[in-house]
Amino acid sequence: MLEILTGTGLAFAAGLNAWIPLLLIGALDRFTGLIELPAGWAWLSNEWVLVILAALLVIEFVADKVPGVDSVNDVIQTVIRPTSGGLAFGSGSASTTVAVTDPAAFFSSNQWVPVVAGIVIALLVHLAKSSIRPLITATTAGLGGPVASVVEDLGSIAMSLFAIILPVLVIIGIAGSIVGVILIARRLLRKRRRPSPEGPGLPVSTSD
């Protein structure tokens, strides 16, 4: 059960930011004892892979905070984030972590299952994120986009760490995210439908 939560949390994090969970998995395996990747996923902790992931993270971090560019980035990430989610779920659920000391044989004998599950989870998170971002942009004159992007990055970091260190918190994180998205979307929709405070204006009289 814990390995499923670990994989789910990492895939969810990938739906918010494609590179954060992969970079954390690789870095924590290489430099700490918090996670130990199985042989099939050890390439994630290779120093060159970490450098590439870090560079891609910087590119996405900047692109996702520039109005206009963030929309193009979201289109590109429709493919990248689900792919990252599949890798994150597959590697995370098969790894030994401080919380998971004996990954289930289910994942080692059916390696395609967690990969597909991660793709689906990350895609759903990405689609939800992409659908609410235009509302934020439209109701804040573009100023809310960078703020939302920073929140998403922080959420990706937190969810990745939850998944590796204390997987039970993944349930709370996902539930809180769903509730938060629903509340924000409802508030933004109400704000968008609210009539202008000036009203339609009074007709101008042309008589003497």
Tokens of 61: 């971090």
pTM (two decimals): 0.84
pLDDT at position 119 is: 93
Q: State how far the Cα of 180 lies from the Cα of 169, in Å rounded to an integer.
A: 16
Average pLDDT, 10 consecutive residues per value, the chain (208 residues): 87 94 94 87 93 95 87 90 92 77 62 84 92 80 82 94 90 90 80 59 50
Q: State how far the Cα of 181 lies from the Cα of 205, in Å rounded to an integer.
A: 48
User: 96: buried, middle or exposed (CB in 10 Å: 19+, 13-18, 0-12)?
Assistant: middle
Q: Is 42 left (phi over 0), alpha (psi -120 to 50) or beta?
A: alpha
- CB-hemisphere CA count at 13 Å for 5? 20
pLDDT at position 194 is: 65
pLDDT at position 208 is: 47
